[in-house]
Chain A
Amino acid sequence: MDRDLLRQCLTYHGQSLFNTLKCEQTENPDFQAVVSDLCKATYESRCEEQSNPLVEQFIARKADILFSPVWRTAGLRGEEHEEEEAVEPYAVMPPMEVFMEVSYEERRSMIYRDLERGDIVVGRINNIREYGFFLTLFCTAGGLKRDIEDLELSALCHVREIPSTGSHDDPLAYYQIGDFIRAGVKDIDRYQEKITVSLHQACLSPSLEHIKLGVITKEELPVHYSRSVQAATDSSETYERILTGCHGYHNPSVVDYLLEKVGISDTHPPSMMRGLQSKLFQAEDFASAIRKKQSASWALKCVRAGVDHFKHGRHVEAMNEYNKALEIDISNVEALVARGALYANKGSIMKAITDFERALENCPDHRNAKKYLCQTLVERGKQLEEQEKLVTAEGLYRRALALDGSNPEAQEALHKITDTIQKSIRLREEALAKEQVKTKSGQSSAEKLRKILKEEKRMKKKRKRSSSSSSSTSSRTSSSSTSSSSSRRQSKKKKKKRRKSERGSKRHRRISSKESRRSNEGKKDRNEKEEDDEVEWYPAPSNTSATFLNQVGGLGFGLRDEEQVEGKDADDRKSFKLYSLSAASEEEESDSSQRERKGRDREESRTKKTKSSLSRSPDREKIRSRSRERRNRSRDGDRKKDRRSSDSKRRSSLDENSKRKLSCSSGELEYSGRKSSYRPEHSGNSTSKHPENRNDSSSRNLFEENRGRLEVHGADQVKREKESRMEEGTIPDQGHSKKGSAGNQNEQCSMGAKKDLPANLLDIFNQIAQFEKEKGVKPKK
């Protein structure tokens, strides 16, 4: 209990209150602590009129609240200088003494009592002497608002207290009798009733420091002063009338403003009622807390429904539920994790990562979020690895490991990628060395081949120069080849995702090792051959993207998988169409994506061949040929093409086989060699997205073509599969670049792995032949 405050109160109310207090606060230990102290003094009621016993009873009963030290929330606050503000946020009222007609003596003693060093006064110069000037004070400024105009207060401003302007002139020369001066109180002698003021800013109290001292104009006089002058002259003006006449009074937020000024919290409002003491309010009873809890539970309900949809394969409904959940509760961890998982399943790895990251932001220890993010990061890393962004991929693996240090997949991937990076560096050096050796030794068959390729390149360049298109062939080639590989990756990913989702649904089952996963796969509807393939391919050093490609290439997918891919593809195309209509910059992207799709299609066909040449049913052929008819091309050419494409297919399957043999027999070196041969192409992928490609007329053609085709065929996937293959032939640049890519590959292969030359060469020649044929179709378009 605030003893001084209680004493002040008792002094005011007298002994009767003290007696009541002693009755009412018998059980209050705080009061008992101070009561003996208070007993010492005797209290004479100073209140003339007899005090209200009810009020005394109230004070006595509420004494524990009234005199509690924590009751006072507003401390001594810095005074704002309202005159400085352009608008009046509340009604600035003239001092009440103006209306109360307090006696001269009392007001004079009050101002001498309350005026303090650092306050601001305003006065008029009435006398200038060589040692300074005298002011007649007529109003106060700053915090203290008093009516002092008629109090005949005089203040001295010594010459020392006038800031000099730097020159040698007399500072007093700037001041004239009658000037309004705003000055800070430097000293006040309460007994002798002498006030000295200063014009140095430093004399002000810190809260008033921003107010400029010196000569002021009439307009700069404080508002309360001008209002009190107005009230004094017009006797009909009352406090109430001035109050309601002020703009500030009508300010809609005047209450909030003043509450802040006075220092009362309106969110934890004070109350004298025992039941409304702020300590009785529990945080969990507040609306925001309940809402949060409720939102979480509502969102969780949605997530559950979403998971249910998801389990039944209704992915769209599941996504809707997740989104609804996130709408209800924007940071719902479960919803974020579930949506992330769905994104990951749908191949939107980046979105999945974002969701998982957001989930972990809100709940850093969420087990599933951690696990999934880890897996997705590894996934993304592998994607990047495909694109030959090894360093970025490595970073992702490291991040994954930071999340879950025991994740075997991440560990393995990181291990591999560091190996790969080192190996590739070494191989590049080796290749360089070999190159040098080769130049020394006589011409080998590879050398010859390279010459041929160079020749061809030169020709191409010439042609390119003649045509105005600015496309860089290498980048185009690389992107097409990369996309084919990445498409392979994607389909592989799909499969993995499915696995993952299954794991996700059975959350507690944790499959960590590859062996267990493979056994899991075994349960699936996969034929034995596939599994053999996989087993066969695992022992091979799989740390390079090239092996990875082969490995996936050797795998067959269920029809459903393919359809999923295709379906997504169709979606992509639609959106591309939309985008491209609006922005030319999208064209480039759509182009690359189309190429990617094409590559994927090609890949698929090859895969099928590998799996079994019978997979191509005759009716499919029929559909294809029909679709061909729909395209207004000459039947003749079509037939040729058909033959050619089937030829190429056969050949590609041959390729595949030979490759496989090769990879089986040859060791790690061969793989990495091939891998390194792929690298420049992959890295070219990024360049293919550069603006230089944007003006590529051929890409635009391709795009237009794509659009046209879309209009004709709609979403028939099987047809498209075929057609996209045909399209390779239809666009001149495309075919040409394909060939170039083959050449590049060839060249690099020969550099990288000289000893495997015969097998490699066969491979390459096959490819060349294939592209040549495709090229042959080109002029017909």
Chain B
Amino acid sequence: MDMQGPSAYSTASLRVAGRRDSGGDIAADPSLDTKHFRVCRFIMETGVKLCMRSVPVATACVLYHRFFERVSIHAYEPYLVAMSCVYLAGKVEEQHIRTRDIINVSHRYFNSGSTPLECDKEFWDLRDSVVQCELLILRQLNFQVSFEHPHKYLLHYLLSVKSLVNRHAWSRTPVAETSWALLRDCYHGAMVICHRPQHIAIAMLYLALNSYGVELPAGEREWWQVLCDDVMKADIDAVIADLLQLYDMEAKCI
């Protein structure tokens, strides 16, 4: 009945290995990537169940990735960090999520089909851990918790590109949905903190257009060159490659 992953978390277990020991070990070990992938999947699922919008979920993921960029995954319980990231992201993005809901949804995530938690000591301990961990994240990130996300860019790009395409062809092709889905899926990996948000947005749009074989008029400059000054085809390819790797990872590990 206990939570599997986060069962051990308490304020005590948070400090198993102390602060900033190894300075992060991201991408050092492929097994870590899958671990982070799973935790990010947890954040995504939790986000949907908490009815969070895309941007707060994205912030939660970025908080998570940034945190483990600095800290070894062995130092802290990643699921607890994820829960606190969701909580903190809700505050940062002005969509406040209550800890109670986070704990409830997480509890059900780890014990599917279980009855809701009682209002007892266990619940309050969990709550305390989440709040404590939030403070830990804040300190680790030096209180820099607001990020620029590709979402805004992507939506503006979508409108601009839409004007280039015949309206009937556009309405037939779900470019907007696909690019939005791709963008959300990006957050499964640390790739989101490795690329510029504009580049990510362009890459998502590029992949979506490409997937449906939508052709845009060609001028002296390509459409993606117009949208962002410093983007190269190589950048787009890199982002797409990273994303496709995440999809491979899903097939492998879930």
Q: Do A and B bind each other?
A: yes
Nearest CB to that of A271 among chain B residues?
Answer: B181
Task: Indicate if B136 sits at the interface (CB-CB under 8 A).
Answer: no
Q: Which residues of B contact A (CB under 8 A)?
A: 41, 44-45, 48-51, 53-55, 94, 100-102, 104-105, 108-109, 112, 115-119, 151-153, 155-156, 158-161, 163-164, 166-167, 171-174, 176-178, 180-182, 184-185, 188, 198, 207, 210-215, 217-223, 226-229, 237, 240-241, 244, 247, 250-251, 254
Q: Could you say which of A93-101, A332-340, A426-434 contacts chain B?
A: A93-101
Q: Which residues of A contact B (CB under 8 A)?
A: 4-5, 8-13, 51-52, 54-55, 57-59, 61-62, 66, 71-76, 90-91, 93, 95-97, 99-103, 106-107, 110, 113-114, 116, 143-146, 238-240, 243, 249, 252, 254-256, 258-259, 261-264, 266-276, 278, 281, 285-288, 290-291, 293-294, 297-298, 301
> Given A71-B177, A275-B254, are A97 and B219 neighbors across the interface (CB < 8 Å)?
yes
B118, A266: Cβ atoms closer than 8 Å:
no
Alpha-carbon distance A368/B133, docked complex (angstroms): 47
Nearest CB to that of B228 among chain A residues?
Answer: A240
Nearest CB to that of B206 among chain A residues?
Answer: A55
Min CB distance, A268 to chain B, in Å? 8
Alpha-carbon distance A272/B182, docked complex (angstroms): 6
A291, B100: Cβ atoms closer than 8 Å:
yes
Nearest CB to that of B168 among chain A residues?
Answer: A76
A-B contacts counted at CB < 8 A amount to: 240
Partner of B49, one of A97, A100, A261, A287: A287
Q: Give the residues in chain B near A107, CB-CB below 8 Å.
A: 217
> Given A271-B184, A275-B250, are A143 and B155 neighbors across the interface (CB < 8 Å)?
no
Q: Give the residues in chain A near B241, CB-CB below 8 Å.
A: 54
Nearest CB to that of A100 among chain B residues?
Answer: B219
> Given A240-B198, A271-B185, A276-B45, are A100 and B221 neighbors across the interface (CB < 8 Å)?
yes
Alpha-carbon distance A146/B101, docked complex (angstroms): 47
Min CB distance, A672 to chain B, in Å? 58
6 extra A-B contacts, CB within 8 A, seeds A54-B240, A71-B177, A286-B49:
A5-B173, A8-B213, A8-B214, A97-B219, A271-B181, A286-B51
B41, A275: Cβ atoms closer than 8 Å:
yes
B211, A9: Cβ atoms closer than 8 Å:
yes
Q: Give the residues in chain B near A57, CB-CB below 8 Å.
A: 244
Min CB distance, B243 to chain A, in Å? 8
Alpha-carbon distance A272/B243, docked complex (angstroms): 11
A297, B54: Cβ atoms closer than 8 Å:
no
Alpha-carbon distance A287/B117, docked complex (angstroms): 13
Q: Give the residues in chain A near B164, CB-CB below 8 Å.
A: 95-97
Alpha-carbon distance A254/B149, docked complex (angstroms): 12
B108, A110: Cβ atoms closer than 8 Å:
no
B156, A285: Cβ atoms closer than 8 Å:
no
> Given A106-B217, A275-B41, are A240 and B227 neighbors across the interface (CB < 8 Å)?
yes
> Given A238-B229, A297-B115, are A274 and B250 neighbors across the interface (CB < 8 Å)?
yes
Min CB distance, A564 to chain B, in Å? 34
> Given A66-B178, A100-B217, A101-B221, are A266 and B53 neighbors across the interface (CB < 8 Å)?
yes
Which 3 pairs across A and B sit closest by C-beta, in order of nearness?
A12-B213, A294-B116, A100-B219
B156, A144: Cβ atoms closer than 8 Å:
no
Majority secondary structure of chain A interface residues (helix, strand, loop or mixed) = helix
B116, A262: Cβ atoms closer than 8 Å:
no
Q: Give the residues in chain A near B115, CB-CB below 8 Å.
A: 293, 297
Q: Give the residues in chain B near A278, CB-CB below 8 Å.
A: 48
Min CB distance, B228 to chain A, in Å? 6
Alpha-carbon distance A90/B153, docked complex (angstroms): 11
Partner of A288, one of B51, B184, B185, B214: B51
Alpha-carbon distance A107/B219, docked complex (angstroms): 10
Alpha-carbon distance A11/B241, docked complex (angstroms): 23
Nearest CB to that of B249 among chain A residues?
Answer: A273
Min CB distance, B8 to chain A, in Å? 23
B171, A75: Cβ atoms closer than 8 Å:
yes
> Given A8-B213, A100-B220, A273-B188, are A72 and B226 neighbors across the interface (CB < 8 Å)?
no
Partner of A58, one of B118, B171, B177, B247: B247
7 inter-chain pairs at a CB distance below 8 angstroms, sorted by A residue, are: A93-B159, A96-B163, A106-B219, A238-B226, A258-B159, A269-B180, A286-B50
Min CB distance, A325 to chain B, in Å? 12
A5, B152: Cβ atoms closer than 8 Å:
no
Min CB distance, A62 to chain B, in Å? 7
Alpha-carbon distance A107/B173, docked complex (angstroms): 22
Partner of A96, one of B102, B181, B223: B223
Min CB distance, B138 to chain A, in Å? 22
Min CB distance, A261 to chain B, in Å? 8
> Given A102-B218, A276-B41, are A96 and B226 neighbors across the interface (CB < 8 Å)?
yes
Nearest CB to that of B188 among chain A residues?
Answer: A273
Q: Give the residues in chain A near B55, CB-CB below 8 Å.
A: 255
Q: Give the residues in chain B near A91, CB-CB below 8 Å.
A: 156
Partner of B229, one of A5, A97, A240, A254: A240
Q: Give the residues in chain B near A262, CB-CB below 8 Å.
A: 155, 158-159, 176, 180
Partner of B105, one of A116, A287, A297: A287
Nearest CB to that of B57 among chain A residues?
Answer: A269
B180, A100: Cβ atoms closer than 8 Å:
no
A9, B212: Cβ atoms closer than 8 Å:
yes
Q: Give the residues in chain B near A73, CB-CB below 8 Å.
A: 174, 177
A270, B178: Cβ atoms closer than 8 Å:
yes
Min CB distance, B222 to chain A, in Å? 8
> Given A59-B211, A276-B45, are A293 and B156 neighbors across the interface (CB < 8 Å)?
no
A297, B151: Cβ atoms closer than 8 Å:
no
Q: Give the residues in chain A near B155, CB-CB below 8 Å.
A: 90, 254-255, 258-259, 262
B156, A256: Cβ atoms closer than 8 Å:
no
Q: Give the residues in chain B near A52, CB-CB below 8 Å.
A: 237, 240
Partner of B51, one of A72, A249, A287: A287
Nearest CB to that of A79 among chain B residues?
Answer: B167
Alpha-carbon distance A294/B105, docked complex (angstroms): 11
Q: Give the residues in chain A near B251, CB-CB below 8 Å.
A: 61, 274
Partner of A298, one of B53, B119, B250: B119
B54, A255: Cβ atoms closer than 8 Å:
yes
Q: Give the residues in chain B near A90, CB-CB below 8 Å.
A: 155-156, 159
Alpha-carbon distance A582/B225, docked complex (angstroms): 74
Nearest CB to that of B45 among chain A residues?
Answer: A276
Alpha-carbon distance A106/B219, docked complex (angstroms): 9
Min CB distance, B1 to chain A, in Å? 16
A72, B174: Cβ atoms closer than 8 Å:
yes
